[in-house]
Chains A and B, each alone.
Chain A
């Protein structure tokens, strides 16, 4: 009796094993579907990323490499031209990201209320996102020309003497950051609009009945309930800001001197100069910086969302 039972169990499990094996073999969702994408991703992204850790520790000519330990990194943190790039990257990322969060929110609140010409305004704010960064950079280089440029002309009309924008070492980086905000705030705005539109009307109706002021409605309903949108905007603009290169290269090429250099432009300059090891070290620094900022931020922001 007991033997017979065990026998049956064994037989049944053997049967189900065979069945699962057969099903695994003929799954309608075969794993080889992942292969082509993984192959491209591995060869052109993962492999270079991993090898960058090794080559950043060498003097490298692409054909052979000589191990020099941490020398490249030492140089990166000692030469003023290179450390400037590091601090500038942080300033640039924080300034552009912070401004986009605030302006994006303001624009989104205004463009979801009943203003005249709303659809047109939304398009006008969003369009620069799609335009070539180089085109925007060159256009604003001309607009920011200190003596003849439109911006200083306009400021002159109201009696303000505008700064020398891209030519002034103090303002060069911030001027580029301002253009970055002009080009990118449309993305933050549409993300916020999507977030605000998803908030149920009832909350606003209830607040209205309770006699809440517009500021209180914004502070206690819109702001907390649009939190996922804020998180998206912060993450996207920080990543973009840390990696940004096009706009800076089109407008100042890191100048005057190296006052508006960022890590990405340092990487390019060292690459052009043939210092491949040093350039790759710059990539590793950028990698570490991005991970160091994004990991805790991602963790903290997603926790905050759960608490709400």
Chain B
């Protein structure tokens, strides 16, 4: 549109974007590769002596392989909660979209409230203690499911509206029960939107800091984000190890991003066009 002027400005524009958005990441890599003394100067420079592998090793070994435990815990929470939330919300979206009950507005209200309302922290701790789920991985998984349902339901419902009803009717006439119709006819058709949902929610759950902070305290259940946060206070002067830790924790989202960039953007911008 503003063709000539934009093309004139574009080298400058690209330079600004590159500096603002890429320099912090380059800084992370450089600092993670420096020796302790050099990293302490906080300078943006190539490391004089590359100690990246050694730093990564030290960061992983720190506090009795805490980071490994944390990665295992985070993986269990992420995989468990995303799997449950995807199946449960697909079932909800399917029934609500197909039946359109008269109290549908109330269901919509609940779904929206799940998106908007900040969870009440202490009462949730109290509920979890009553159910003896406080400080357990199972409890954490259920919490992530509860907070993630709304987003998935909205995403799925829009998609199910595009699957022709004739498909489920045909399967029903052929004698398939509701579970069979849903899991062997509808759910497989939702593959692309399920992938979108899984990727977006995995990144969200993996990066979640607040909920583990409240509902999963204690070292034996440490998650990746909590470990990183505690690392900061324990290794205050070891910036090389701190940044090695940040680097390791950035890798899973980076992998997701490289493989599923389009899916993620698709999921996050759904609704931006129609409102």
Partners in one complex: yes
Which of B20, B129, B229, B269 is within 8 Å of A182, CB to CB?
B20
Contact B7 A45 (CB under 8 A): no
Q: Does A267 contact B (CB under 8 A)?
A: yes
- Residues on A with C-beta less than 8 A from B91 are 33-34, 36-37
B86 to chain A, nearest CB (A): 11
Contact A191 B96 (CB under 8 A): no
Which of B14, B96, B250 is within 8 Å of A34, CB to CB?
B96
What separation, in Å, do the CA atoms of A133 and B265 have in the docked complex? 19
Contact of A150 with B23 at beta-carbon distance under 8 Å, contacts A44-B142, A214-B1, A280-B120 already known: yes
B23-43: which residues lie under 8 A (CB-CB) from chain A? 23-25, 27-28, 31, 41-43
B236 to chain A, nearest CB (A): 11
- Residues on B with C-beta less than 8 A from A305 are 275
What's the dominant secondary structure at chain B's contact region? helix
- Of the stretches B46-54, B59-67, B190-198, B253-261, the one at the interface is B253-261
Which of A40, A51, A194 is within 8 Å of B273, CB to CB?
A194
Contact A134 B124 (CB under 8 A): no
- Of the stretches A12-20, A76-84, A282-290, the one at the interface is A282-290
Which of B13, B14, B225 is within 8 Å of A132, CB to CB?
B225
1/0 contact string of B220-246 vs chain A (CB within 8 Å): 000011001100100000010011001
Q: Does B249 contact A (CB under 8 A)?
A: yes
Q: Does B137 contact A (CB under 8 A)?
A: no
- Residues on A with C-beta less than 8 A from B99 are 27, 29, 31
A148 to chain B, nearest CB (A): 4
Number of A positions contacting B (CB below 8 A): 98
Contact A130 B264 (CB under 8 A): yes
What's the dominant secondary structure at chain A's contact region? helix
Q: Does A69 contact B (CB under 8 A)?
A: no
Contact B209 A130 (CB under 8 A): no
Contact of A290 with B117 at beta-carbon distance under 8 Å, contacts A36-B88, A44-B124, A132-B228 already known: yes
What separation, in Å, do the CA atoms of A113 and B23 have in the docked complex? 24
- Residues on B with C-beta less than 8 A from A307 are none
Contact A37 B228 (CB under 8 A): no
Contact of A113 with B6 at beta-carbon distance under 8 Å, contacts A29-B95, A33-B92 already known: yes
Which of B88, B178, B257, B269 is within 8 Å of A130, CB to CB?
B257
Contact of A29 with B98 at beta-carbon distance under 8 Å, contacts A116-B14, A142-B239, A145-B42 already known: yes
Chosen A-B contacts, 6 in total, with CB atoms closer than 8 Å, are A44-B146, A51-B126, A114-B7, A132-B246, A143-B24, A268-B121
Add 16 more A-B contacts to A116-B14, A192-B272, A246-B209 (CB < 8 A): A27-B178, A30-B95, A34-B91, A41-B149, A45-B119, A114-B7, A115-B10, A132-B228, A132-B246, A139-B27, A140-B24, A153-B44, A214-B1, A217-B2, A271-B121, A287-B117
A interface list, Cβ under 8 A from B = 27-31, 33-34, 36-38, 40-41, 43-49, 51-52, 55, 60, 62, 107, 109-110, 113-117, 121, 123-136, 138-140, 142-143, 145, 148-150, 153, 182, 187, 190-195, 198, 204, 214, 217-218, 227-229, 231-232, 239, 242-243, 245-246, 249-250, 264, 267-268, 271, 276, 279-280, 283-284, 286-287, 290-291, 294, 302, 305
